Amino acid sequence: MFSGIVAAVGEIAAVEPRGSGVQLTIDAGALDLTDVALGDSIAVAGVCLTVIAIDGNRWRADVSAETLTRTTLGALAPGAPVNLEKALRLCDRVGGHLVSGHVDGIGAVVRIDLQPGGAQGWRFRAPRSLMRYIAVKGSICIDGASLTVNGIDDDCLEVTLIPHTLAATSFGARAVGDAVNLEVDLIARHLERLQTGAGA
């Protein structure tokens, strides 16, 4: 479980094929790995991955074909910046919202508007199947960052990124057309399941 508060921006150091999947080597950047053990979880661009090896400031994770298909990880090449967050401990503050690291779908950046004070308004296209879980002033996790939704329509949502968020995440390296990982609010998904008794 994660909070969606990005702890550091790391970098994909290597991508090695492993059967139908890949093994990623990730440079942790400013993320402190001294308390990370083999088997721990780290969110990479919003995707929960298991640490299988640590070598100095780098760590490795196996990524299955299923994860490559359902997230943006399959399109990342060495040098790509990625948002990183270690799993929560029960005593941690939850500054964002509860995030599982299980991506629900892939969206895309469709517009970036400058706003007063250095903030930016970002518009993302999302799969229509996910839009029913997204509400104005609700939370959404985009590439591992917990963000507040400012507006929605049929297939898009809008958020505001403050200068701190732009500086502390990989959004500063993003452009219109880029794909992003989306995770909707866990509570919305479970409420629908409870009410309808249907769906996956």
- What is the domain partition of the chain in residue ranges? 8-86, 105-196
User: What is the fold, at CATH topology level, of the domain defined by 8-86?
Assistant: Elongation Factor Tu (Ef-tu); domain 3 (2.40.30)
**pTM of the shown model:** 0.91
Neighbouring residues of 100: CB distance < 8 A, sequence distance ≥ 6: 1, 2, 48, 183, 186
User: Roughly how many angstroms between the first and final C-alpha of the chain, as a whole number?
Assistant: 20
Query: What pLDDT, on a 0 to 100 scale, did the predictor assign at position 196?
Result: 81
What phi and psi, each to the nearest 5 degrees, are found at residue 62? -85, 140
Query: What pLDDT, on a 0 to 100 scale, did the predictor assign at position 122?
Result: 98
Contact 158, 123 (CB under 8 A): yes
Residue by residue, pLDDT tens for the chain (200 residues) are 899 999 999 999 999 999 999 999 999 999 999 999 999 999 999 999 999 999 999 999 999 999 999 999 999 999 999 999 999 987 887 888 889 999 999 999 999 999 988 999 999 999 999 999 999 999 999 999 999 999 999 999 999 999 999 999 999 999 999 999 999 988 887 888 788 876 55
Tell me if domain 8-86 and domain 105-196 are identical in fold.
Answer: yes
Query: What pLDDT, on a 0 to 100 scale, did the predictor assign at position 193?
Result: 79
* Other beta carbons less than 10 A from residue 63's beta carbon: 21
Query: What pLDDT, on a 0 to 100 scale, did the predictor assign at position 145?
Result: 97
**Residue 129 backbone zone (phi > 0: left; psi -120 to 50: alpha; other: beta):** alpha
Contact 103, 143 (CB under 8 A): no
User: What is the fold, at CATH topology level, of the domain defined by 105-196?
Assistant: Elongation Factor Tu (Ef-tu); domain 3 (2.40.30)
Q: What is the largest CA-CA distance in the chain?
A: 49
Query: What pLDDT, on a 0 to 100 scale, did the predictor assign at position 198?
Result: 61
Query: What pLDDT, on a 0 to 100 scale, did the predictor assign at position 94?
Result: 80
Query: What pLDDT, on a 0 to 100 scale, did the predictor assign at position 73?
Result: 97
